[in-house]
Amino acid sequence: MAVLFYSSSQTYEQQSQVGSLGKLLSNHPFEEQLKGISFGYAGSEVSMEAKGYIKFIEFFIRKGAHFGTYFLLGGSWFIGLNMKVKQPLLIGVVAWLAATGYAGLDEYHQMLTGGRTPLFQDVMLDSIGALTAVVFCLVVIGVKKIRKK
């Protein structure tokens, strides 16, 4: 959570990986295969045509980071709570809601940070990452119970 708070304290320019990606992906790998991808996110078009190759790739890295960090947060909440209370479904709901609540607070924090745009869509993406981790944990517990029998 501290890493997420620190990350939210940085402006887009401080976090931007456009320069590094430009050097790393200078030959634009998979550009032809990615050209046909286009969709809307938070009211904006996401495509190579609209963003350019490097910013298009950066979009997926940034959104993958949203999903991944909240996957870890939701899973961590679940594992931590599961050590004390042995009611997996209840723990799953609490872990998911805690991670989703933190995602909302994190976006609010971004609103207070200059050069950042808080997005409800990011909260939803974060929430889906946390929910995926919780479901994964519940499946693992279920498989372990079946194997015990």
Task: Find the DSSP H helices in 25-119.
Answer: 31-34, 48-51, 53-82, 88-112
From the CB of residue 109, how many other CB atoms can be counted at a distance below 10 Å?
A: 17
Give the model confidence (pLDDT) of 42-77 as tens digits. Answer: 999 999 999 999 999 999 999 999 999 999 999 999
Give the model confidence (pLDDT) of 78-94 as tens digits. Answer: 999 998 888 999 999 99
Domain locations along the chain: 2-148
pTM above 0.75, yes or no: yes
Q: Could you give the count of Cα atoms lying within 13 Å of 66 in the half-sphere of its Cβ?
A: 22
From the CB of residue 130, how many other CB atoms can be counted at a distance below 10 Å?
A: 30
The size of the chain, in residues, is 149
Give the model confidence (pLDDT) of 3-31 as tens digits. Answer: 888 888 877 777 778 888 988 999 999 99
